[in-house]
Structure 1
Amino acid sequence: MEAYSSLIMIIPMIAVFYFMIILPQKKRDKKTREMLNALNVGENIITIGGVVGKIINIKDDELTIETSIKRTEIVIMRWAVKEVLKSADI
C-alpha cells in the first residue's frame, strides 16, 4: 500500500513538471524554428549578439547581412537570428 501512495504523489508532480516546463519550451522551440525557416532576403533582423542588419543573401544555413551606413557585410549562421524586426521597429 505504501508503494502506491508514493506513486500517487509522484504522478501529479510529473504532470505539473510537464505542463509548466516542457510543454511551454516545446512551443517556444516550434515558434523559433518557424521564424528561422521563414527568413527572406530584404528582412531586417537582430542577432543573438545584438547586431542589427538587413538580409542580403541566404545560402543554406548561412545568411549574409548588411549592417550600418558603411554597408558592412557579415556572414552569420541562421540559428544566430534572434528576431525579425518589423519596419516600425527600425
Structure 2
Amino acid sequence: MEALTGLLPIVLFIVLFWFILIRPQQKRQKQVREMQNNLQKGDEIVTIGGMHGRIHALDEGTIVVEVNDGNKLTYDRSSVREVKNNQ
C-alpha cells in the first residue's frame, strides 16, 4: 500500500502533463492536417511564410499559388498556415 501511495504523485503528474500539453497539441495537429487535406482550387490562403494568394492548382503533395500580380508559385501542402475563406 505504501508503494502505491509513493507512485500516486508520479501518476498524477503524468496524467496532468498529458491533459495540459500533449492532448491539445494532438488536437491542433489534427485540425491542421484536415485543413490541408481539404484545400480546394480557388481558396485564398496564407502560407507559413506569410504570403497571401489563391490556389490555382492542386496536386497530391503540392499546390500552385497565384498571387495578385499573376505570378504562380509552387508550395508543399504543409506550408499552408490558414485558409482565409472557403468557397
TM-score (norm 1): 0.88
Name 1:85's counterpart in structure 2. Answer: 84
Kindly report structure 1 stretches of 4+ aligned residues shifted beyond 2 Å: 1-6
Q: Whole-Å Cα distance in 1 between the matches of residues 65 and 12 of structure 2? A: 48
Identity %: 37
Q: CA deviation at 1:2?
A: 5.3
Q: CA deviation at 1:3?
A: 3.6
Q: CA deviation at 1:8?
A: 1.1
CA-to-aligned-CA distance 1:28-75 (integer Å, 9 cap, x gap): 01111110110000000000000000000001111000012x211100
- Stretches of structure 1 that go unaligned for 5 or more consecutive residues are none
Would you say how many aligned residue pairs link Structure 1 and Structure 2?
86
Q: Whole-Å Cα distance in 1 between the matches of residues 72 and 15 of structure 2? A: 48
- Stretches of structure 2 that go unaligned for 5 or more consecutive residues are none
Counterpart amino acid of residue 57 in structure 1: A
Matches within 5 A, 1:25-40: 25-40=25-40
TM-score (norm 2): 0.91
